[in-house]
Amino acid sequence: MEMTGNTILVTGGTSGIGRALAEQFHSRSNQVIIAGRRQPLLDEITAERPGIRGIQVDLDDEKSLVAFADGVAAEFPDLNMLVNNAGISREENIVGEDFDFATSREMIHTNILAKLQLTGLLLPVLRQQPTATIITTSSGLAFVPRHNFPTYCATKAFLHSWVQSLRTQLRETAIKVLELIPPYVQTELAGPDQARDPNAMPLGTYIAEVVGLLESGDLPNGEILVERVKQLRSAERMGKYDEVYSTLNAS
């Protein structure tokens, strides 16, 4: 895929993988729009990176989402890349007395429904471009889940299935559909401790490998797979699912 001269929308672009990708895309002479809930972070990023456009939006609010998509399509009619990255992760104990289904509902809405709706709303403008790309962030945990993040892992498994169907439905168009499958990365997705966890892959290292894969075009089956996540992705295919699952959930 071309890495320069694009107009790119990155949801969840104020922190973690989304922010790092947005900054990398911006440094390669792309017009980058980042969407997020927190205005102070949007202001911080756009001040540090003149030229990045920041738009505040609550993707869980349907009216806000529709207005946001309409505004992006009107302001950026040459939009040719959507990075569906916004997502949340919460630990859950389904059998615990204090289990709150509202937490599950929030993850399902943010991680699944908002992505589906935004993609549908922006497909008309993406289809107008000579070439376009949709990148959706799933997770290595879509393939081997962690028991203490049941809904989060399930939302990512849903996205993996959905991306495959979307890719097939768009096969006769100029839109390329890619799936970004991260391993455990040093971000604050599951809280501040994750960003400091030595067992997690450093964010900068992860993004550098992702960008290298995008530049090289080494994307088998439309999947963006760094080396560190391949064990999870291939566990079932290699007959090692039970082993990998047990190791991942040992604690």
Q: Is the pLDDT of residue 100 over 90?
A: no
How far is it, in rounded angstroms, from Cα 170 to Cα 93?
38
Q: Is the pLDDT of residue 229 over 90?
A: yes
Specify the pLDDT at position 103: 93
Active site residues: 152
How does residue 77 score in pLDDT terms, banded at 50, 70 and 90?
very high
pLDDT per residue as tens digits for the range 1-54: 789 999 999 999 999 999 999 999 999 999 999 999 899 999 999 999 999 999
From 21-25, 100-104, 174-178, 219-223, the region with the lowest mean pLDDT: 100-104
Specify the pLDDT at position 49: 94
Rounded to a whole number of angstroms, the distance between the first and last alpha carbons of the chain is 41
Contact status, residue 191 vs residue 237, Cβ threshold 8 Å? no
Q: Is the pLDDT of residue 97 over 90?
A: no
Contact status, residue 79 vs residue 7, Cβ threshold 8 Å? yes
> Exposed, middle or buried: residue 194 (CB in 10 Å: 0-12, 13-18, 19+)?
middle
User: Average pLDDT, stretch 194-213?
Assistant: 96
Average pLDDT for the chain? 95
User: Average pLDDT, stretch 83-100?
Assistant: 91
Q: Is the pLDDT of residue 105 over 80?
A: yes
Specify the pLDDT at position 99: 87
Distances (CA, A) of 146 to 8, 16, 142, 201, 246: 32, 20, 9, 17, 10
What is the 8-class DSSP label of residue 90?
A: -
Residue 133, strand partner residues: 81, 176
The CATH class for the domain spanning 7-248 reads: alpha beta
User: Average pLDDT, stretch 170-176?
Assistant: 97
Specify the pLDDT at position 110: 95
Specify the pLDDT at position 142: 98
Give the start-to-end residue ranges of the domains of the chain.
7-248
pLDDT per residue as tens digits for the range 43-75: 999 999 999 999 999 988 999 999 999 999 999
pLDDT per residue as tens digits for the range 116-143: 999 999 999 999 999 999 999 999 999 9
How does residue 98 score in pLDDT terms, banded at 50, 70 and 90?
confident
Specify the pLDDT at position 60: 85
